[in-house]
């Protein structure tokens, strides 16, 4: 070794020994030690670093252009198709207006606290779902991966629904609408109505035969439906173009996609209130059936709807909030977005039942007309005496009240023979009690009602454009829940990852645009998200409240918000919410076990739906979807618990983030909780960490990315020193 090298090495060793003595002595405070350790960095580098840190907030991560853009993004993600076609159905099914009370209670107990929790951790740690839970506890890092898997499963079939909506939107520019009348079939001798349509209805026939061209079972694929394949491609192209630049591109689209549905809903409400029968629908909707509030099923379905309405566990909430400033009042955001979501659901319910009331009134008028003709025939045949019919009633143009009077009279006179007459009561409540949800509401019931609107093509265009925007808003949050954590963790280019993600999803999504694709959509909707997301959110709550520590988390929030959150959240996060979530998980498992796994198949010969059980391979797929979604949690836990991957090998436990660079950390992030409390993530701490190692700049040496938690991020070499008790620090 050259002589001058020995001198340099001797000087370096002396400096290290002096640094060790300083650290072991109790004369200096931690702050003084920190200052001394920073003196070894030359003045010029200190100036450069300070300049870099001054602009770190701008360089490290993109940010929302405004608070309004961020709120609209969260509203667009949480307010989706479920608010329009799931909430009204649950409200009708579970006691009308009485259902709103358990929903509101569970929104306060489960919804807002957990929504606030996800907003807080995303904004505090400023990473996607993988980085957030890996930071809080590397052993629970699988929570983030599970969120990404569930997001991808949901995105696969959710965009298919947007594709269906695009098809109906493209067919709405016609007068009359193509689903207005049953098609006629011509042969050599005569013309007749399509039997499948005649036995069902024009809108039902159009949905199952013209749009989906559906097969009679999931085992019969029937080949690709080219119309829906093109629509699915267009849907994924729209999502890809909107997301390719991250929030810089999707954030601007939010101004339209989030606000336009409200314009359409208000227009629909005003228009439907002017239609005959709309008040009957709204009255039926909000007539409370208080006795149903005592049924556990009502509370379980309300809790599930609250859970999915806010998008908990998907990672989209965390991803969007990670682009916020650290001093943003995320508590206000959580309450605001939650109640916007709730009132949107109520508004959509008003619109749906005003329109369904109008439709029920038309159906009821047809029923009265047909039954009046039957009564006239029975009178002419002598089966019913003219003497029982009041003289002021004209059966050729009978009103609803007069028909009810005649029906009751005939029922009393012909007590034993009444069933043989085949007369119907024609009550509007019977039509309104027919519970319709999901695609049945959007593509059958609502489309049928719109055919009776004046200027029906205009309202059809507006309705399906609203559904497209609601779907895209949720898709943006879902895809962001995949892209952001992957980009944060693996430092890939967002544009390339977005294109690959969308292209792969389109290829996998081809199974949903087969002629049997609707059955696969039902399968994924039932089994790919419900239980895995519940487990993910339970683990999120446990990770924050018990692994990281609820007291430390409250301190973090106080430091971030500038005020201490209410004690209400402390008790919710630590006791009530975990207990409620576990109860909901058990109830969901029991309900799934009691419900035979199957689907409603459309039988062409019967022109009706029939419940069929999944074949054996279908059962395997259902089980595999649930296992694959939650599998990352135990896999990552075992890997970290058993140290199956060395920290120095570049695994996820040794990755932190600073200004777009990946820094390899040989320290365990799990023991680095103090940095979160004091307001900085490890890559932003103001001085090197003191523990079993100290770090010192080597003069004249190349820079090495070896410093864990260092302020400067590069250029320190590790020097071993004896173990030092925490008290000596």
Residue partners of 567: CB distance under 8 A and separation at least 6: none
CA dihedral 578, 579, 580, 584 (to 10 degrees): 100
What is the number of alpha carbons within 13 Å of residue 605 lying toward its C-beta? 2
At which residue do the structure tokens 């209410």 appear? Answer: 566
Compute the distance between CA of residue 106 and CA of residue 146 in angstroms, rounded to an integer: 25
Q: Which residues contact 128 (CB under 8 A, 6 or more apart)?
A: 122, 144, 315, 318, 319, 322, 481, 484, 485, 486, 487, 488, 489
Rounded CA-CA distance 201/181 in Å is 9
Measured in residues, the chain has a length of 729
Specify whether the CB–CB gap between 716 and 697 falls below 8 A: yes
C-beta separation of 644 from 685 below 8 A? no
Place of tokens 């029923």: 367
| CA distances for 116 relative to 191, 607, 674, angstroms | 63, 48, 22
Cβ–Cβ < 8 Å for 112, 104: no
Bridge partners of 603, per DSSP, are 608
Do the Cβ atoms of 127 and 480 come closer than 8 Å?
A: no
Annotated binding residues, written as ranges, equal 76, 79, 83, 341, 470, 474
Angstrom CA distances, 509 to 15, 235, 243, 501, stand at 63, 11, 19, 12
42 token code pair: 């030359």
Q: Determine the Cα–Cα distance for residues 200 and 213; give it in Å rounded to an integer.
A: 15
Q: How far apart are CA 99 and CA 92, in angstroms?
A: 8
7 burial level (CB within 10 Å; 0-12, 13-18, 19+): exposed
230 CB-side CA count, 13 A: 6
Task: Give binding residues for Na(+) as ranges.
Answer: 76, 79, 83, 341, 470, 474
Give dist(CA 276, CA 445) in Å, integer. Answer: 17
**Contact between residue 322 and residue 129 where contact means Cβ atoms under 8 Å apart:** no
- Give the integer Cα–Cα distance in Å for 267 and 532: 38
CA distance 500 to 479: 12
Q: CB-hemisphere CA count at 13 Å for 334?
A: 24
Degrees to nearest 5, angle at CA 209 with 204 and 210 = 100
Distance CA 127, CA 436 (A): 40
DSSP element (H, E) containing 609:
strand 608-613
Distance in angstroms (rounded) separating the CA atoms of residues 380 and 24 = 112
DSSP 514: B
Q: How far apart are CA 147 and CA 135, in angstroms?
A: 15
Three-class DSSP labels, 220-254: CCCCECHHHHHHHHHHHHHHHHHHCCCHHHHHHHH
How far apart, in Å, are the Cα atoms of 369 and each of 267, 372, 404, 451? 32, 5, 12, 20
């Amino acid at each position: 070794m050259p002589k001058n090298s020995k001198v340099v090495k001797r000087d370096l060793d002396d400096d290290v020994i002096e640094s060790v003595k300083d650290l072991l002595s109790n004369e200096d405070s931690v702050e003084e030690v920190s200052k001394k350790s920073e003196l070894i960095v030359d003045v010029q580098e200190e100036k450069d670093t300070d300049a870099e840190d001054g602009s770190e907030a701008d360089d490290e991560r993109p940010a929302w252009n405004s608070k309004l853009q961020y709120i609209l993004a969260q509203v667009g993600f949480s307010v989706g198709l479920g608010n329009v076609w799931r909430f009204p159905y649950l409200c009708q099914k579970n006691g009308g207006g009485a259902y709103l009370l358990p929903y509101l209670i569970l929104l306060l107990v489960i919804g807002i606290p957990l929504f606030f929790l996800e907003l807080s951790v995303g904004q505090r740690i400023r990473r996607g779902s993988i980085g957030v839970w890996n930071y809080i506890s590397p052993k629970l890092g699988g929570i983030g991966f599970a969120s990404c898997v569930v997001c991808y499963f949901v995105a696969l079939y959710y965009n298919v629904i947007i594709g269906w909506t695009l098809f109906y939107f493209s067919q709405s520019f016609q007068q009359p609408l193509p689903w207005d009348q049953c098609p006629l079939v011509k042969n050599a001798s005569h013309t007749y109505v399509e039997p499948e349509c005649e036995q069902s209805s024009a809108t039902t026939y159009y949905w199952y035969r013209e749009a989906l061209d559906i097969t009679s079972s999931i085992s019969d694929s029937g080949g690709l439906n080219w119309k829906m394949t093109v629509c699915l491609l267009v849907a994924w192209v729209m999502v890809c173009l909107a997301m390719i630049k991250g929030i810089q591109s999707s954030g601007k689209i939010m101004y339209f996609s989030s606000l336009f549905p409200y314009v359409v809903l208000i227009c629909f409400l005003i228009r439907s209130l002017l239609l005959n029968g709309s008040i009957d629908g709204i009255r039926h909707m909000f007539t409370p059936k208080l006795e149903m509030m005592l049924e556990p099923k009502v509370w379980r379905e309300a809790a599930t709807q609250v859970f999915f309405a806010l998008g908990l566990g998907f990672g989209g909430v965390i991803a969007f909030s990670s682009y916020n400033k650290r001093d943003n009042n995320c508590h206000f955001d959580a309450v605001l977005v939650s109640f916007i979501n709730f009132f949107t659901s109520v508004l959509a319910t008003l619109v749906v039942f005003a329109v369904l009331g109008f439709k029920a009134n038309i159906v009821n008028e047809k029923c009265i007309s047909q039954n009046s003709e039957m009564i006239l025939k029975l009178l002419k045949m002598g089966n019913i005496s003219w003497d029982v019919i009041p003289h002021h009633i004209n059966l050729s143009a009978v009103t609803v009240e007069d028909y009810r009077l005649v029906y009751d009279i005939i029922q009393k006179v012909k007590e034993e023979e009444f069933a043989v007459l085949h007369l119907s009561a024609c009550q509007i409540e019977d039509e309104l009690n027919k519970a319709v949800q999901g695609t049945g509401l959007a593509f059958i019931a609502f489309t049928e009602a719109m055919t009776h609107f004046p200027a029906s093509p205009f309202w059809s265009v507006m309705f399906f454009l609203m559904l497209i925007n609601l779907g895209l808003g949720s898709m943006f949050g879902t895809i962001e829940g995949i892209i952001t954590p992957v980009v944060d963790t693996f430092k890939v280019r967002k544009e390339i990852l977005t294109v690959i993600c969308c292209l792969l999803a389109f290829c996998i999504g081809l199974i949903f645009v087969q002629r049997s694709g609707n059955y696969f959509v039902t399968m994924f909707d039932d089994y790919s998200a419900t239980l895995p997301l519940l487990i993910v959110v339970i683990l999120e709550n446990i990770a924050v409240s018990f692994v990281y520590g609820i007291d430390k988390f409250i301190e973090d929030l106080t430091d971030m918000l500038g005020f201490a959150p209410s004690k209400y959240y402390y008790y919710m996060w630590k006791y009530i919410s975990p207990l409620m979530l576990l109860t909901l998980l058990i109830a969901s498992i029991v309900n799934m076990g009691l419900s035979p796994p199957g689907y409603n198949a459309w039988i062409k010969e019967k022109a009706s739906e029939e419940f069929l059980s999944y074949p054996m391979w279908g059962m395997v797929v259902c089980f595999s979807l649930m296992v694959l979604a939650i599998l990352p949690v135990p896999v990552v836990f075992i890997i970290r618990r058993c140290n199956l991957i060395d920290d120095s090998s570049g695994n996820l436990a040794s990755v932190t983030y600073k200004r777009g660079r990946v820094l390899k950390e040989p320290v365990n992030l799990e023991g680095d909780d103090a940095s979160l409390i004091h307001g900085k993530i490890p890559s932003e701490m103001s001085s090197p960490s003191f523990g079993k190692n100290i770090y010192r700049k080597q003069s004249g040496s190349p820079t090495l990315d070896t410093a864990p938690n260092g302020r400067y991020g590069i250029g320190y070499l590790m020097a071993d020193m004896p173990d030092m008790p925490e008290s000596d620090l």
